[in-house]
Amino acid sequence: MKESIRNKVDLLVANKEKIEKEFKWGYSVMNIAAALVFTGADKDVDIERLKECKKILEKNTGALSSFQANSAAVIVSKMALADNPEQYIKNVKAIYDVLNKKHVIDNPYPIQGAICIYEAGRMNDTEKIAAKYRELYKKMEKKHPFLTSSEDIVYVVLLAMTDKDVDTIFNEIEDCYTYLKNDKKLKVGNNELQGLGEILALTDGNIREKSDKVVDLYNTILGHGVKWGKEHNEFGSLGTLIDINANNDALVDEIVEVSNYLKSCKGFGGWTLDTKQRQMFSAMLVGDSYGENGSLMGSSAVNSTVAMVIAEEVALMICIMACASAASSASH
């Protein structure tokens, strides 16, 4: 394993262990997501800072809001990295209120979108981004009402932050979807294909050429005997790896090596993550380890942001499903 990758993995494991000793977020996978926030910034966890930020979050948000639910671990971790945690959460909440004002119920997914807008330094453009986001989301929902859901919100927000107009974005997503489904006959669910299209449309370049790169990488993975996750986020994560300056065989070998190493680490085995989820997190670590110098087309920053969003969404979805399962069991 390359030293740069090993350092990332060891930092993640150490950060998760520190967080887990002090915080009980409800589900261990959320501790991984929180640890990834620090690891992505190449920082060690500061537990006292986390405790302080947790109090600030509770002071500034309602006890029943999504800010204090499953998303709390990630939000508090991001606050801990900010120069002014209180101003951070106030600004994120203000952006969230604009994004979510058309929704009747509190929703955890626009929180991610609000964080992306704020951390990109685009708070002053919130109204403009929100209007573009709603226009694109409505267009997607009309075309694919059964595929477009809350899980797509953060990706649509990210797309609304690009310089591309709504029609261009929509057409790129659709072209990716129909090309992979009808021409390439990729054996992946429709929801996953739309999700991949959203991720690929975030960067410049020909959408079909980028789609072909994903197919090539996916075939390499299968050729190595690896069963890659076909869920919305797991499959979509491949879209963040196609610009890495490494051949696919070497890349897959590194991902498998990291996954096997993580499996032996406390808190990353089968009780917390299944093999496909662990491979996805491993892919994120490998991709991140290449950094600016190992990524083509200047897309490293975009892919890093998207990879973190995917990791957060996977953790959030695992928690939501676990909560739903627990509630169902309790009712019987």
For the chain, 332 residues long, give each residue's pLDDT as a single digit of tens. 888 899 999 999 999 999 888 777 556 788 888 899 999 999 999 999 999 999 999 999 988 888 988 888 899 999 999 999 999 999 999 999 999 886 656 788 899 999 999 999 999 999 999 999 999 999 999 999 999 998 899 999 999 999 999 999 999 999 999 999 999 999 899 999 999 999 999 999 999 999 999 999 999 999 999 989 887 578 999 999 998 888 999 999 999 999 999 999 988 887 778 888 899 999 989 988 876 444 433 456 777 888 888 888 877 777 666 555 555 555 54
Return the pLDDT at 299.
56
Distances (CA, A) of 33 to 78, 151, 313, 316: 11, 17, 9, 9
Structure confidence at residue 64 (pLDDT): 81
| pLDDT given at position 288 | 85
User: Model-level pTM?
Assistant: 0.92
Ramachandran bin of 118, using left for φ above 0, alpha for ψ from -120 to 50, beta for the remaining angles: alpha
Residues whose CB falls within 8 Å of the CB of residue 138, separated by 6 or more in sequence, listed in order: none
Q: How high is the pLDDT of residue 323? A: 54
d(CA 16, CA 30): 9
pLDDT of residue 329: 52
For residue 97, the model assigns a pLDDT of: 93
The contacts of residue 277 (CB under 8 Å, 6+ apart) are: 29, 229, 234, 314, 318
DSSP for 140-203, written as a single string: HHHH-TTT--GGGHHHHHHHHTSSS-HHHHHHHHHHHHHIIIIIS---S-HHHHHHHHHHHTTS
Position 75 scores a pLDDT of 93
Q: What is the pLDDT of residue 56?
A: 97
Predicted local distance difference test score (pLDDT) of residue 82: 97
Tell me the three state secondary structure of residue 45.
Answer: coil
* Whether 114 contacts 107, CB under 8 Å: no
